[in-house]
Structure formats: C-alpha cells, structure tokens
Structure 1
Amino acid sequence: MKKRKIPLRKDIVTGEMFPKKELVRVVKNKENEVSLDPTGKKQGRGAYIGLDVAIAKRAKTERTFDKAFSLKIDDQFYDELIAYVDHQQARKELFKDE
C-alpha cells in the first residue's frame, strides 16, 4: 500500500512544523471575528497552534494572535483557546490506543 503524505503546518507560537492533526486552526473572517476552527474548513485567514496547554498559555502572554491578525483580541478568546486545547489534549491521552 502506498504511504500517504501527511500535511504539515507551522505552529505560529513555536515556529515548529507539526502534522495538521496535531494542531488547531484559528481563523479570522471578513468581519474581523476570530474563532476556533476545529474542522479546518471555515472561510478566512487561518493560523495554527499546537495542541499543548503550555503553547496556548504562551500564546496568551505573548498575544500571538493579536499580532498575526493585526487585531485587538479579548482575553476571553485566549481563555477559550486554552480550555479547548486542554480538552483536546485530555482526549488524545485518553484515546491514544485507538
């Protein structure tokens, strides 16, 4: 069987390349609304962040997405991002056998 190519994306916080499945996409749409994009299919400009709570907390302290999207983003968004990443990290550890 032919080996499938794994798409890689760059983590905006660390600058490292990761497989797309190990990242979460954050998207800014035309109305300048920033949101999480778990499906990776939303319209707009996207940036990726690793599924690691430490990376998400670093993004909050450095205001990474403010710089990436040239917007002032609420702390509430960063808190939502940290909670989402924490949840996904826990799921990944729970279901790692499958």
Structure 2
Amino acid sequence: MDTLTRLEDTIAQRRRAAPETSYVASLSARGLPVIARKFGEEAVEAVVAALAEDREELIGEAADVLFHLLVMLAEKDVSLADVMAELDRREGVSGLEEKANRTS
C-alpha cells in the first residue's frame, strides 16, 4: 500500500508541474476525456497480456493500469483513501450480495 500512496503523492505534485516537463501534467492539461481514454487503453493492454499468458507483460501493463487509474482519480478529486474505504466497506460481503445491493 505504501507504494500506491507514494505514487498518489507524486501524481499530485506532478499535476501542478508544467505540461512540457511532466507526463502527468500533460495528461491533466489535456483533460478528463484523454485521461479516461488512456486508462481504458492500458486496461485493454492488460487484458491482452493476460490472455496471451505473458506474465511479465501482464505485470507491466497492470502497473500502467494502476498508474493511470490514480491519475484519473486525481483528476476527479477522488483519493486512494476513498477507494480503500469503499473496499473496506465491502470486505466480508459476498460479491454477489454486494452487486445485488447496488442494482436494487
């Protein structure tokens, strides 16, 4: 968890940088649609790596997914702590039960 928290802090700092000097700042300057599309691209690449059964590629793509998810969350002012609190809330609840509660 410490790594993700540090990454979240780094993303927050880099969002304030000049877009010419920071990948995160350049994504933020281009807006949420670009950030969301990039996250989606990385998620698809992770799926492809999983289906190709390429463990090392999957590890790299999973890291890209987590990174871009944190960038997207930051853009929407949603913290990792917010997401972790939701996971904590769901802990011990059957996935089927939790999903049924969301759709009712």
Q: TM-score range by the shorter chain?
A: 0.3 to 0.5
Structure with higher Rg: it is 2
More helix by share: 2
TM-score, normalisation: structure 2: 0.32
TM-score, normalisation: structure 1: 0.33
